[in-house]
Chains A and B, each alone.
Chain A
Amino acid sequence: MEDESDDALMRRAGSGDKAAFALLVRRHLARATALAQRIVGNRSDAEEIVQEAFLRCWQKAPEWRPANDRPSAGKAANDQAANDDDQSEGTRGSTAQFGTWLYRVLVNLCLDRRRRPQPIAIEAAEEVPDTAADGFQETSRGETSRRVQAAMAQLPERQRAALALCYFEDMGNIEAAAALEISIGALESLLVRARRALREALGDLSEEGAAG
């Protein structure tokens, strides 16, 4: 089962296979948590959102079909694929189809979290004391690091989500656009505005770096 694709595992999960679902969680938990944390800016909200995203995966697993099996699902990804000559990356791989779906759910939860009702009724995680106020790793802190984080926190959420997907999670533009349910042009627009805002906010650091 370890070698099976995400799609195959999701099909098994749809039949109630808990071990298959556990493997999916193991594969995606760290990345999903990192992505959510980058978007919402704190660890507790991110963990709550990730738990809810996985719960939705479990609940919807019986209905889930890979994008190429269903005409309407993955529409955004397919639309974008039509605009991109090279489809060898992004939504083509079987893993990417489940991933796209999972990250779309996750990003939506992140963006909607203010309107979200109370958290799901899963027992609270046994929490390890969080040394960092917002859950980001202390070891990576420094003046530049703090400035970058502060500048990113000032970005509108959708810009931050686009940057988190494409830059920090190295997601292809097709998959990232699908996760945000926007066109590739709209994704690029978000990224351009995000990077421009960051360049303006961090201009002095950038100049120092260039001078050094």
Chain B
Amino acid sequence: MTPLNRFRDLLGAYGADPKRWPPAERARALLLLGNSTEAEALRREAAALDSLLDQAPRPALPRIEAAILAARITAQPQETYRSHQRLQNMLWLRAVGLAAAALIGFVVGTTQLTDIGDSSASVASIDVADVAPW
């Protein structure tokens, strides 16, 4: 993008006052402004809109005093933190529960596999007719 096009974009976004221009581009834009009649004309156009915007009504001051507002707010608990702590505690409990279940499952499974291994011979020797009622 040529410097003049970028300058036009700068004015289009931020207006004519250099203090509103991005600091990184300010020096270059001012240099262009000092050397280009076209840039100066663009700046005047932007300044005309700025002067209208400067006549926008000013917002009224807040009707509540800062101290009163702060007192009301700080009367509320810092709930988010407590909820966060509760959530963390719940996650810990869940993790411990899962770990315990996994451990029990592993122990029980290992024990049963050992039992099956020990009794596999006797199981194999049982005839179906021995257990079938018909």
- A: residues with CB less than 8 A from B are 14, 16, 18, 21-22, 24-26, 29-30, 33-34, 37-38, 43, 46-47, 50-51, 54-55, 58-63, 84-86, 88-89, 122-123, 125-128, 130, 132, 135-137, 140-142, 144-146, 148-149, 152, 163, 166-168, 170, 172-173, 184, 187-188, 191-192, 195-196, 198-199, 202, 205-206, 209-210
Contact = CB atoms under 8 A, between A and B. Distances in A.
B62 A206 contact: no
B82 to A, nearest CB: 9
Interface of B: 9, 12-15, 19-20, 22-24, 46, 48-49, 51-53, 55-64, 66-74, 76, 78-81, 84
A33 B59 contact: yes
B23 A198 contact: no
Contacts of B46: 195
B58 A136 contact: yes
Contact of B66 (A26, A172, A199, A205): A26
A173 B20 CA distance: 8
User: How would you classify the secondary structure of chain B's contact residues: helix, strand, loop or mixed?
Assistant: helix
A195 B49 CA distance: 8
A168 B49 CA distance: 13
B56 A59 contact: no
A21 B67 CA distance: 10
A208 B60 CA distance: 28
A29 B61 CA distance: 9
A72 to B, nearest CB: 15
Contacts of A84: 22, 24
Contacts of B59: 33-34, 37-38, 43, 46, 135-137
